[in-house]
Amino acid sequence: MFRIAAPPRHPLALLALLVAVPAFSQTAAPAAAPAATHELRVFDPSLIDTTIDPCQNFYRFSCNGWFKRNPLPPDQVAYGRFTELYELNRLHLRQILEQAAVPSPTRTPNEQKIGDEYASCMNTAEIDKQGLAPIQPELDRIAALKSNQDLPALLAHLHAIGVEAFFGFGASPDFADANRMISFYGAGGLGLPERDYYTRTDPKSVEQRKQYVDHVHNIFMLAGEPDTQAKQDAASVLAIETELAKASLTITELRDPKNLDHPTDLAAFSREMPHFSLPGYVEAAHAPTAGKINDSEPRFFAEFDTLVASTPPDRIKTYLRWHLLHAYAGTSMSQSFDHESWNFYAHILNGAEKEQDRWKRCTSRVDHEMGEALGQVYVARYFPPEEKQQALAMTLAIEQAMGNDIDSLDWMSAETKVKAREKLHTVMNKIGYPDKWRDYSKLTIVRGDALGNQERVREFDFARDLAKIGKPVDRGEWDMSPPTVNAYYDPQMNNVNFPAGYFQPPFFSDKEDDAANYGDMGSTIGHELTHGFDDNGRQFDKDGNLKDWWTKDDEQKFNQKAECVVKQYDAIEPVPGVHLNGKLTLGENLADIGGTWLAWMAWQEQAAMHHVDMTAKMDGYTPDQRFWIAYAQQWCTQTRPEQLRTQAQTDPHAPDEDRTNTVLQDLPDFAKSFSCKKGTPMVSSQPCRVW
């Protein structure tokens, strides 16, 4: 899956398994069918390198054949099994979009929208011809700012069109009552990946800040500013963003929901920001004025208010102008802006050598903007009902294994176990796609208006989000589109979500045995379930409320066991001089270890039920060995060192080699399957496990 970061930070990040990275010709040929190079398999013996001792490095044993077959493409910062399937899905989506892009009176309203949006995105000749004209009205709006007293209304408009300046605002479940949506204000306004990029003093970080200033300068130059002015304005942007960053919570502090729970109301919150009219902002945003508000980071908003009072309007306008251009400098603007944005964010920060083909980026754009309109067609073609039932059956089996695991814990009291089982039994399983599809009837898409379409999509989404404030939570809503190759757990909804795009080879196949499917997709299902009981998810009760349901003694024992995992991952150095942050990755590491263990237990139960001969070999390996190899092969990934650095500094997921070897080192049953002895690298001297 793809690593996506949004500066206005959501109240609580969804706990996902993976994370990754980033004119329509009237005579264009339809997309070719996916190339039949080699079959994607859940367990693939051709990927195994038998020259490697599995007890020395199981990841390389399982994946070296894949590495030889799959050199890292120049347009990718990382390429793995997830990318293989993502690219296959993207080909399928391209076929759907190119068919929908052909004007026809028989197109449905949704087909018109997704087809015309794709056609508009692909029409680079028209986008280049229009130049700055489509965004000029917004630049003029910013230029018309006369004083900072006019900022609230301007900022509300910019937020509505997706400009992530200063802070984020939207609807989110109440931490105290997860059935009710309230107003949520979060820190934001940064152009670099996260706050510590502005504060670290090592040579690489200093160099990246200079490169960022150069990038901002280049964008201003493309927008018509003289060189000297562009340099001054770029320096102003960095200065303002640095102040915002210093006042923000760290990426590790953000993982604790208690740090984000600061309930208030409009009157009280307004008194904390005397130099910024919050009522004026709310009115301009057309948001409810009554009801509960969460000020997620009080120190940040105090600094924001001080900054508004002390910063001349011209510098505020410079900052806003940058964030407007930054928000649209992709497929909506001329190729010079598009390439400059790619050069900094994909090439400089993450090492990509080539920009992805336009059709790939336009396909991903439509999926991001109207994922359920596109996904409805995708599901009808590629996710038959029987696959949904198979996925549900596996999910229920692993939930049963988790119940057995809770019962067997020797460190948890009977009192807390009762609450844990209640939470487990309340988990909602969402598989494939929504029961009710999103209504896009109020969204207007105009063929040939790439930037205007993106503005209207963002206004549509912003208004749709704000309309939720004060209303009951829609627990059937999805945060990923059906074709997505990923999964997530939502702690405030207490649900697991597995999009249709994920349930196919190389992760799941009804043509392969249970050992392979449980080792691969089963570990994913277990991973998401375990998120409900990791250091973050365990703080929410069965209804999704932020509520302490643990005894103090059990909480202390959990933290002691979790600290073992923190220290284990702190020691990992994916690139020279950069260690993983064990506290940042703790939730994902607990989910990897616990999820794999749950899948193993569930598969053992299935094997016993179906009288599987545990000594019989298939493709040269016993069923238990196939389980572990399938687990490892899902993580086969080539990653650029620049991306590894970014990942270590910003991502709650450990690199894929560590998600394999470190997890398996902690599970004694793995060592038994391959007769690994104590003292070998794949057997931890101090194994860590909570669940």
Question: What digits encode the pLDDT tens for the residues 211-256?
Answer: 999 999 999 999 999 999 999 999 999 999 999 999 999 999 999 9
Q: Which residue has the tokens 């038959």?
A: 384
Q: Are strands 263-264 and 293-295 parallel, antiparallel or unpaired?
A: antiparallel
- Per-residue pLDDT tens digits for 185-207: 999 999 999 999 999 999 999 99
Which amino acid is residue 298, in one-letter code?
Answer: P
Q: What's the pLDDT score for residue 15?
A: 58
Q: How many Cα atoms sit within 13 Å of 341 on the Cβ side?
A: 20
pLDDT band with cut points at 50, 70 and 90 for residue 39: confident
Spatial distance between the Cα atoms of 89 and 357, rounded to a whole number of angstroms: 15
Q: What's the pLDDT score for residue 354?
A: 97
Mean pLDDT over all residues of the chain?
A: 94
Q: Are strands 495-499 and 263-264 parallel, antiparallel or unpaired?
A: unpaired
- Per-residue pLDDT tens digits for 271-311: 999 999 999 999 999 999 999 999 999 999 999 999 999 99
Q: What average pLDDT does the segment 437-463 reach?
A: 98
Percentage of residues in the chain having pLDDT higher than 70: 95
Contact 286, 463 (CB under 8 A): yes
Q: What's the pLDDT score for residue 513?
A: 95
- Per-residue pLDDT tens digits for 148-165: 999 999 999 999 999 999
Please state the separation of Cα 5 from the chain's center in Å.
7
Percentage of residues in the chain having pLDDT higher than 90: 94
Does 655 score more than 60 pLDDT?
yes
Q: Which domains does the chain have, with CATH numbers?
A: 139-331 (1.10.1380.10)
Longest dimension (CA), the chain: 79
Spatial distance between the Cα atoms of 52 and 59, rounded to a whole number of angstroms: 10
pLDDT band with cut points at 50, 70 and 90 for residue 140: very high
- Kindly list the distances between the CA atom of residue 143 and the CA atoms of 146, 201, 238, in Å, as whole numbers in the listed order: 8, 35, 20
Q: What's the pLDDT score for residue 14?
A: 54
- Kindly list the distances between the CA atom of residue 94 and the CA atoms of 220, 364, 380, 421, in Å, as whole numbers in the listed order: 34, 9, 15, 44
Q: What average pLDDT does the segment 552-565 reach?
A: 98
Q: What is the pTM of this model?
A: 0.94
- Per-residue pLDDT tens digits for 603-622: 999 999 999 999 999 999 99
Q: Which two tokens stand for residue 155?
A: 């900022």
Spatial distance between the Cα atoms of 391 and 504, rounded to a whole number of angstroms: 10
Backbone angles phi, psi at 387, to 5 degrees: -70, -35
Q: Which residues pair with 79 in a beta bridge?
A: 638
Q: Which residues of 435-456 are buried (b: 16+ CB within 10 A; e: fewer)?
A: eeebebeebebebebbbbbbbb
pLDDT band with cut points at 50, 70 and 90 for residue 38: confident
Q: Which residue has the tokens 């939207």?
A: 170
Q: Which two tokens stand for residue 396?
A: 């229920």
Q: What 8-state DSSP symbol labels residue 247? A: T
pLDDT band with cut points at 50, 70 and 90 for residue 37: low
Q: What average pLDDT does the segment 337-355 reach?
A: 98
Q: Which two tokens stand for residue 199?
A: 């504060």
Spatial distance between the Cα atoms of 361 and 118, rounded to a whole number of angstroms: 10
Does 67 score more than 50 pLDDT?
yes
